[in-house]
Chain A
Amino acid sequence: MFRLALTMLINERGKYLGIIAALSFTALMMAQQPSIFLGMLSRATALIDDIPSADLWVMDPNVQYSDDSKPLQDAQLYRVKGIAGVEWAVPFFSGSIQARLPDGNFRNCILYGIDDATFIGGPAKMVEGRITDLRQSDGVVVDAASAKGVLAQTAAGDQREPLGVGSTLELNDLRASIVGLHGGEPNVQSQPIIYTTYNRVKFFKSSDRKLLSFILVKLQPGVDAAQVVRNIRRYTGLAAYTKAEFSTMSSNYFLFRTGIFLNFGISALISFLIGGSIAAQTFYNFTLDHLRYFGVLKAMGASSRLLFAMIALQMLCAGAIGFGVGIGIVTFFGVVVQGGTVAFSLNYWIVGGAALAILLLSLGTALLSSRPVRRLEPAAVFRG
């Protein structure tokens, strides 16, 4: 009977495709919106995650997340270095700067200044060139996605010409030479990310009095991180967090202190409601259209349980196909935007969540649609 149930659904082409389309849309939006949100969230902590060697991040106590820069006095670096348990401490600058492209266009960028001697705090992955090339005069490293994207200059005939090693741009009206391209992701605002050395930041942002955004700390082996954090807070008055704490703090800021989570959540919920309603309504209509035949089956000896199982199978099958199509489209979308300016991160949790949503939607629709069948008296088939 289950085979016949599926044949009944599949041969009703119009409604069948309508249900599949609505469920595909629902699965797509249920996976795509959280994936973009998660992508943005991962960008919010990308800076922290990309510097694995730093055990602690030291900063102004009022800093709320990784892009929130409240500069410190350079002298604070030496005070932190003096705390017991600290193996090394290096300066790190995080701020914005305006870049002028060779074609005359301006673009706001994120500028990171890393330790001149050790290059700690540099990008996790270099696509072209080496991070040590920053020793070259006026050297900067630009993210590869922006180099061929927003930073690409417009040449004759509206052709986009990507920046590469050897290209130049102006940062605050000062010449900068691109000595490498890194594979790091853009930040939450999808701005280009430029790395240079900490001392060269002072050159590019000479008007700023204080430039020390964070102090990156490596702990001596075997020391208690919590104790060092307490000591830094006690002796310097600065805030210190472990990598995990700072990452969570930055995520929480975007989750709870901005409207991004709410906006994406509402978007996903509305998509679920719209797609789900269309799918449920179409399937309900399909069941109503076949009510007469379900009545015939009931008269011929099909139990209500069997009829519900047939209806549930029809809807679950449509749900599985719709889910597959939807997730397939989202995956394709993810492949297309990979490495670009669109933040996107599809993981098993999101796929599982979308699957659960479609499963619940399918079961709910099957329950709703089977109601008139359950209430149908088999004698109704003799009433014409």
Chain B
Amino acid sequence: MSAVTGDSQERAVQCRGLTKSFGTGEARVPALRGLDLDIDYGEMAMLVGPSGCGKTTLLSIIAAVLDHDTGLCRVLGRDLKKLTVADKVLLRRQAIGFVFQAFNLIPTLTLADNVSVPLLLNGVGHAIARKRAGAMLDRLGLGNRVDALPSELSGGQQQRVAIARALVHGPRLVVCDEPTSALDAKTGDAVLHLLREVALEENRTLIIVTHDSRILKYADRIIEMSDGVIMQSGTSQSPVPDTRSNLP
């Protein structure tokens, strides 16, 4: 598989009739029921809906960490059904950035080492990876903490490190799972602003699963899910405030 590049002629994410169930027999629980979805390059989409509606399942399928049952799911021009396990590993490694709810920074590694991980996975040498990680951390306001451990940082700072890790290798798609749920309102606001500003450069696509209604104003499009299907999809009308000066 060659390096993944965006194709301006098609959508970043395209799902048609997507289904996914968990369990077997009578215990079989459908999580997605023939879902259709399009997300463009350069778009920041937020998936919202009640718990158990299938948001995280959809995000996992788009991020190529979970296989769907039937239907079509094209991500960055790749039909996921046709990819081998190794192809999916490569797709994730090269083209997708991850931001998790609980940050998931490796506690025994420094910030620079944590941020270096995607570069190292892509074969970048340790010294260059650390340099680029340092530059990314600097961009996110943590340039003076590269050798600190995650435990020495506040929640907001840790999430900024996680964002740096998600973006350092220049992915075309960034998936975020509840990125503000562990943060207070002010910090969450600042993190989302930063995420939008940095991540949407270079025509990147951002997909965010969230329960936090306060951050919906940052979305280009809000996709509301219920019971495994999309109920409605619309654009956010709220202006995006500049909170860069209030970084946590």
Contact = CB atoms under 8 A, between A and B. Distances in A.
B109 A379 contact: no
A97 interface: no
21 contacts: A1-B120, A1-B121, A3-B126, A4-B113, A4-B117, A11-B109, A293-B106, A296-B106, A299-B63, A299-B98, A300-B93, A300-B118, A301-B90, A301-B121, A302-B93, A303-B89, A306-B121, A378-B65, A382-B60, A382-B63, A384-B102
A342 to B, nearest CB: 43
A290 B93 CA distance: 20
Contacts of A274: none
B-side interface mostly? helix
A124 interface: no
B104 A381 contact: yes
B54 to A, nearest CB: 12
B92 interface: yes
Interface string B105-146: 010110001001110111000100000000000000000000
A299 B92 contact: yes
Given A4-B116, A301-B94, A381-B104, 15 more contacts: A1-B117, A1-B121, A7-B109, A12-B108, A292-B104, A293-B104, A296-B106, A297-B121, A301-B89, A301-B92, A301-B96, A302-B121, A379-B65, A381-B65, A384-B102
B189 interface: no
A378 B175 CA distance: 14
Interface in A280-332: 290, 292-293, 296-297, 299-303, 306
Nearest to A10: B108
B177 interface: yes
Contacts of A301: 89-94, 96, 118, 121-122
B205 interface: no
Contacts of A299: 63, 65, 92, 98
Contacts of B104: 292-293, 296, 381
Given A4-B120, A292-B104, A296-B98, A303 B86 contact: yes
Interface string A367-384: 000000000011101111
Contacts of B60: 379, 382
Interface in A1-51: 1, 3-4, 7-8, 11-12
A-side interface mostly? helix
Contact of A300 (B109, B113, B117): B117
Instruction: Give the interface size bracket for A toward B.
Output: 20 to 34
Given A296-B98, A300-B117, A379 B126 contact: no
Contacts of B96: 301
Interface string A60-91: 00000000000000000000000000000000
Nearest to A301: B93
Contact of A382 (B59, B106, B117, B122): B59
B159 interface: no
Contacts of B233: none
A290 B63 CA distance: 22
A378 B66 CA distance: 8
Contacts of A377: 65-66
A381 B118 CA distance: 16
A374 B234 CA distance: 40
A383 B113 contact: no
Contacts of A297: 117, 121
B22 to A, nearest CB: 11
Contacts of B126: 3
B101 interface: yes
Interface centre among A11, A296, A300, A381 (most CB of B within 10 A): A300
B100 A382 contact: yes
B157 interface: no
Nearest to B100: A381
B93 A8 contact: no
A300 B106 contact: no
Given A11-B109, A293-B106, A379 B66 contact: yes
A153 to B, nearest CB: 61
Contacts of A300: 92-93, 98, 117-118, 121
B180 interface: no
Given A1-B121, A3-B126, A8-B108, A381 B113 contact: no
Contacts of B210: none
Interface in B66-93: 66, 86, 89-93
A382 B65 contact: yes
A296 B56 contact: no
A76 B59 CA distance: 97
Interface in B31-78: 56, 59-60, 63, 65-66
A382 B63 CA distance: 10
A250 B152 CA distance: 67
Nearest to A380: B65
A301 B85 CA distance: 11
A348 B216 CA distance: 69
